[in-house]
């Protein structure tokens, strides 16, 4: 008889909140860097500037909004992915094939992105759904990169027999997953930024896609390194917290 632990449906939301608490200062500094009129300060200089002017707690301005997002968007996508994966894992003899993980991740992320979009009914239903489409598409890409790739990377690492199911394996697998998520969602982030900063030169998402494509494939990956610096640590911390929650507080399954 062997005992294993599986995740509870809300663990993904809790783990994401823990990661957000650690990486929130990076997000805040990134926003400050993007909104400065002239390039005067780099990342470290901006962090010192914020702390000097407003104190250490200023690095956590807007944390409540970030946690609210994690408890809607991340909780939904993790709950769907992990619950369905564990249900299918209990009926099948082996792990899910990678293509099924990708499809499940895309569905979970799309739903999570929709749930995580603030329902601003004042702007009307059309506006709500147009905002939700981009958020849902990005949610699908990030979830495929994070959850599906994490599961697959962990399965491959454990399959080598060199490493056990420990924190080092979780770190390596989540690092790979963070890189995959950054690569997959960067084109959407570039388009979103171009649309937000446009002064009416794009008629819609398709027009923006065509115009960006004219600049070559690398145009979709502008700012890839800063995006990775933000997303990879968040992914690593999320999965390390999730695995620890699962290990100590997960549902016990004896087989």
Rg of the chain (C-alpha set): 20
- Confidence (pLDDT) at 122: 39
Helix (H/G/I), strand (E/B), else coil: 22: helix
Q: What's the whole-model pTM score?
A: 0.87
**From CA 191, how far away is CA 42, in angstroms rounded?**
24
From the CB of residue 40, how many other CB atoms can be counted at a distance below 10 Å? 10
- Confidence (pLDDT) at 120: 37
Q: What is the pLDDT along the chain (255 residues), one digit of tens a residue?
A: 778 889 999 999 999 999 999 999 888 887 777 666 565 777 788 888 888 888 888 889 989 988 998 999 999 999 999 999 988 877 777 788 999 999 999 999 999 988 887 643 334 655 555 556 777 888 899 999 999 999 999 999 999 999 999 999 999 999 999 999 999 999 988 887 777 777 778 787 888 888 888 888 888 888 788 889 889 999 999 999 999 999 999 998 887
Q: Say what angle helices 224-249 and 11-35 make with each other, to 10 degrees.
A: 160
**From CA 17, how far away is CA 33, in angstroms rounded?**
24
- Confidence (pLDDT) at 91: 77
**From CA 228, how far away is CA 223, in angstroms rounded?**
9
């Amino acid at each position: 008889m062997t005992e294993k632990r599986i995740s509870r449906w809300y663990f993904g939301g809790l783990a994401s909140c823990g990661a957000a608490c650690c990486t929130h200062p990076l997000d805040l500094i990134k926003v400050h860097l993007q909104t400065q009129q002239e390039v005067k300060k780099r990342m470290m200089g901006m962090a010192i500037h914020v702390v000097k002017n407003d104190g250490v707690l200023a690095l956590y301005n807007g944390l409540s909004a970030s946690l609210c997002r994690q408890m809607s968007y991340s909780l939904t996508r993790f709950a769907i992915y992990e619950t369905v994966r564990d249900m299918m894992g209990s009926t099948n003899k082996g792990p899910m094939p990678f293509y099924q993980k990708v499809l499940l991740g895309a569905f979970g992320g799309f739903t999570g992105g929709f749930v995580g979009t603030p329902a601003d009914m004042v702007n009307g239903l059309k506006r709500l759904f147009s905002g939700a489409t981009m958020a849902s598409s990005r949610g699908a890409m990030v979830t495929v990169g994070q959850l599906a790739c994490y599961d697959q990377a962990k399965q491959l690492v454990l399959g080598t027999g060199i490493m056990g199911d420990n924190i080092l394996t979780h770190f390596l697998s989540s690092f790979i997953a963070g890189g995959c998520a950054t690569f997959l969602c960067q084109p959407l982030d570039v388009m979103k930024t171009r649309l937000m900063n446009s002064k009416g030169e794009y008629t819609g998402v398709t027009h923006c896609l065509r115009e960006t494509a004219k600049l070559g494939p690398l145009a979709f990956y502008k700012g890839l390194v800063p995006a990775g610096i933000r997303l990879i640590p968040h992914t690593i911390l999320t999965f390390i917290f999730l695995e620890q929650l699962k290990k100590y507080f997960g549902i016990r399954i004896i087989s």
